[in-house]
Amino acid sequence: MLKLVEIRGVTIGHGKPKIIVSLISSTRDRLQAEIEYLLQKKPDIWEWRLDFMETFEEAELIETLSLIRELTFPSPLLVTYRTVQEGGQGRLRSNAYANLLQLIAKSQLCDLVDVELFSEDNKQLVASIHAEGVKVIVSNHDFEKTPPKEELIWRLREMQFINGDIGKLAVMPKRPHDVLCLLDAADQMKTLYADRPFIVMSMGDLGVISRLGGHHYGSSATFAAGSTPSAPGQLPVELMKQLLL
């Protein structure tokens, strides 16, 4: 039995795959405009890509988060600080990274926080976020390649092992077979090991089928582009909604 993730009526791990849209503006005013534009498209879940922000002053970040929460409520809100090592803009090193995620969790202004699988003391970091009553997505990204299937399955299992509520794996295909490799790994994870939801995607043009049909292989959500894609291969949210019907 999967341990489903339930947030105000949105159940991750059951039913249709949930559509997540990322907010990638760099200032509060632009974020507000971005949300107002996207509200009519009704994504299931919002992701704030905090690493795109121009400034990281704590009080300002919390004010911005509070505004995002207000504008997107009651939809679930995920906050992600993606590091440069994993394809994002974030340059904070381990301690500062952990402190930032804890600050976000303590604010109680979001439902989910993203913790990168390969961050330092990952298990303790997950536990400290859980202690604030906030759920965790443990993620891993490879923007260069698709590692071998066994490695992909190991990473997905490790995400469970360190107690993420949801695992998320995004890899880059270099050839069509890489997409099949990712989907095969997901299928095996679903059949043999998964005790909680996970999300997988193969990025870029080659990987589009994994964003559209990943749920048949066990993926419980898919990322779609809002005003601008936050990763290669994302389809516009309105198109995704039609295609996932």
> What is the binding site for ligand DQA (CB under 6 A)?
22, 47, 49, 80, 82, 139, 141, 168, 170, 201, 203, 223, 230-231, 234
C-alpha pair distances (Å), 20 with each of 44, 51, 176: 6, 17, 25
Which residue lies nearer to ligand DQA by CB, 154 or 229?
A: 229
CA–CA separation, 96 and 7 (whole Å): 28
CA–CA separation, 8 and 74 (whole Å): 7
List the structure tokens of 55. Answer: 């400034």
Residue 199: CB minimum distance to ligand DQA, A? 8
Which residue lies nearer to ligand DQA by CB, 28 or 198?
A: 198
CA–CA separation, 12 and 16 (whole Å): 9
Residues across the chain: 245
User: For 84, which DSSP code?
Assistant: G
Which residue lies nearer to ligand DQA by CB, 171 or 191?
A: 171
The bridge status of strand 112-116 relative to strand 221-224 is unpaired
Is 238 in contact with 41 (CB distance < 8 Å)?
yes
Residue 88: CB minimum distance to ligand DQA, A? 8
Residue 208: CB minimum distance to ligand DQA, A? 11
Residue 1: CB minimum distance to ligand DQA, A? 26
Which residue lies nearer to ligand DQA by CB, 64 or 234?
A: 234
Which residue lies nearer to ligand DQA by CB, 1 or 110?
A: 110
Of 4, 53, 14, nearest to 30 by C-alpha is 53
User: For 73, which DSSP code?
Assistant: T
CA–CA separation, 153 and 90 (whole Å): 26
CA–CA separation, 12 and 19 (whole Å): 10
Of 55, 106, 118, nearest to 79 by C-alpha is 106
Residues acting as catalytic residues: 141, 168
Residue 80: CB minimum distance to ligand DQA, A? 5
